[in-house]
Structure 1
């Protein structure tokens, strides 16, 4: 996974949220293809499974697995599914990640979307509110699906107005990776990673190596490398960007403290040395941690798979993100949703496929093929995986992980925070001033949104 891929997922998907919401309302009563609207489809997006599901039915399923091991596995999984459900034919379409979101949003807005779609969990509320996707509570109840089998934070993110609008498929989580050999060489205990910000700073100082040209050979730790963002550090400091009433708290003292600490660490290296290091790191095409150029980095669990592929002999460990007040991590993820195509038979068949793909046995296979953190807890915690102490640490962080809040008035608020962070870390802007400006912008966004309601 690219260093900032998860942030890109959120931003890329949010670009078409407003288009989808606007268009779906005008197409909400229009049947897909030649299908007639069914009276059991309510305006709220609820659907009731038809009594007769043995009739032949063809459904479409869109996803991002266009090549590689997951494409091979998906082909096999769908073949197995169709053997078990002889009346259901699945027409799948795998589109590469970067083209998928535009294709899916355009199709859904036009009323020609697939019956089952892999989608971005963070933006689910917009589709649920517009009626673009179906509430699956009746299916869950009918089949006795136990939502306790899935990570609680993921189940929570699948709900809108108290109702489930799909099933979680897979997620990610941020953790601290540290190079054990470098720890030993620096006189640090390789079995005692930093637990708080003071220790993180002290360890980083000992692990950083400069060359005779005053350039960085090895960086101990930098908040700008990997997949660490201001919101994660703010959460770890007891901060946050929205209160319980949905009002912005961007310049909350805990947030300012977090950004100030990040600037303090970054300033130790200087703009010139940091710029040169980033240029070299970008040219690698993979994480500088794998290349032995960074002793510690906060990154997604996908980095673990990259390490096993590119540096299988590396001595490293995985630990929670160091914190001051509150253990915290950040997750994003994909889910499976039933697109509201006004056809109960296709919806019922698509539900069968959704239920199959999120079952424990299938999700074990998905993890084996991709290394991803699957949503089904039984699969993620399968004993054959949990024997790996690093994987166990990754799974354990789901207990403290959070998703970015979805704010209808400002769905890309987190994307707006990245340039604020960069202005402080790279351009020396005062953290308090930067977050005061971000607070004002958020307040203006909410005020402008209120005028449109």
Structure 2
């Protein structure tokens, strides 16, 4: 599910930028109050059995919390966690609202624009800075300092995305990371060592050719590797080749030679299959219920860590391995993710209560429970690297790649630049556009967008 979610998330970033101009308001109580067996029928969050009572001087407060888990195991888990939180904090009642992913972003931006946003909201990590800049969410520095809260418990790449100027404006919830999955059975059939996956681009292209199986019609029965499958993308290959698409000042660098080399390599690998064969294969793959790797139709694929969860569920007997993504100059992979943010509803009491819930949801104990249910790569390293999880060599390798992971840059002048870059790549791989011309045109387009943006500021 999360593999599909990221591709959609890139499309809704433009919607999320609406939040930049939004500030919270009344923060009306919305959704259901999570109740534990110890709470009374009114859902006040106060216990009946005397085990926990509000501390003297702590007036009851009600806050709202929105997230993307509208059904299934994670919805049940979230409700159970909130009930546990209210048992520990009998002065705080949490009104929970889980909205399905596809509707969440529009509803959240609309609510915040109308002054009825939640007190605590799950949000997209990559666009946090726009909300911080506009004042739509709170700077957490005072809370962090008051409680001596240790932000070093989180993966560095994630906590860095929470920063704007000198403040921290959220705490990361969970993330993902891309790795190379390879079919060990297919390796043996191709006389390749199943314990030696490809380490660089030359080996990846060589292995792909050996692992590809064609049928009698010269169409692809099993593809060795395709840069058009999975979650690899040009920007990541460019990073691995020493390239980049934006400099430190936010200026476009699409036409860097390292970027061109990466795009040319993608075209070289893809051209070996031919447009007709790839079109037929993509049609077949799109009809599959799961990843073509799970179905045995792809011998190698770059994909998110959640593919591992799918393999365990749908293909537990698959003999496979995981490895770092092959590179030329430097290890590289990329991440996306979610975080929790306290909406600026101009209510100090509710903000303080939301902070308590935020600490709870990102604590090692809670994050371990979330991983156990969802299999997701949680943000708290004490949870993600718990000994019982790291005993699994596949998980250990996946977590280790966070050391090399980056987030896609959020560029206010061109918030959907990465989705547009994907279209550029498709024009090269499928329509025969010259790679150099494609990047030159993309560079001009990015420069125009930046110029227009600057003129509006």
Provide TM-score, normalisation by structure 1.
Answer: 0.93
Q: Residues 32 and 182 (structure 1 numbering): CA distance in 2 closer, same or farther, change over 3 Å?
A: closer
Aligned to 2:320: 316
Q: How does 1:118-267 map to 2 (within 5 A)?
A: 118-267=122-271
Deviation at 1:10, TM superposition (A): 2.6
For structure 1, list consecutive stretches of 5 or more residues without a partner in the other structure: 35-50
Q: Distance in 2 between matches of 1:342 and 1:238?
A: 45
Contact preservation (8 Å) 1:136, 1:166: yes
Question: SS in structure 2 opposite 1:297?
Answer: strand
Question: SS in structure 2 opposite 1:15?
Answer: helix
Q: Distance in 1 between matches of 2:198 and 2:60?
A: 58
Contact preservation (8 Å) 1:4, 1:226: no
Deviation >6 Å, runs of 4+? none
Q: Distance in 2 between matches of 1:452 and 1:229?
A: 31
Q: Structure 1, residues 182-225: CA drift from partner, whole Å, max 9, x if none? A: 11111111111000000001111110000010110000000001
Q: Residues 173 and 52 (structure 1 numbering): CA distance in 2 closer, same or farther, change over 3 Å?
A: farther
Q: Distance in 2 between matches of 1:192 and 1:394?
A: 17
Question: SS in structure 2 opposite 1:62?
Answer: strand
Question: Are 1:431 and 2:435 matched, yes or no?
Answer: yes
Contact preservation (8 Å) 2:213, 2:223: yes
Question: Are 1:10 and 2:10 matched, yes or no?
Answer: yes
Question: Are 1:86 and 2:90 matched, yes or no?
Answer: yes
2:303 counterpart (299, 317, 321): 299
Contact preservation (8 Å) 1:62, 1:118: yes
Aligned to 1:21: 20
Q: Structure 1, residues 210-255: CA drift from partner, whole Å, max 9, x if none? A: 0010110000000001111110111111100011121100111000
Q: Distance in 2 between matches of 1:7 and 1:135?
A: 29
Name the structure, 1 or 2, with higher relative contact order (CA <8 Å, separation 6+). 1
Question: SS in structure 1 opposite 2:431?
Answer: coil
- The alignment's C-alpha RMSD in Å is 1.5
Aligned to 2:39: none
Contact preservation (8 Å) 2:184, 2:321: yes
For structure 2, list consecutive stretches of 5 or more residues without a partner in the other structure: 30-54
Residue-pair matches, total:
432
Q: Distance in 2 between matches of 1:118 and 1:398?
A: 22
Q: Distance in 2 between matches of 1:215 and 1:258?
A: 26
Q: Structure 1, residues 282-308: CA drift from partner, whole Å, max 9, x if none? A: 000210000000000000111000000
2:116 counterpart (107, 112, 121): 112
Contact preservation (8 Å) 2:238, 2:244: yes
Question: Are 1:413 and 2:441 matched, yes or no?
Answer: no
Q: Distance in 2 between matches of 1:53 and 1:396?
A: 46
Question: Are 1:334 and 2:335 matched, yes or no?
Answer: no
Contact preservation (8 Å) 1:32, 1:342: no
Q: Distance in 2 between matches of 1:122 and 1:167?
A: 12
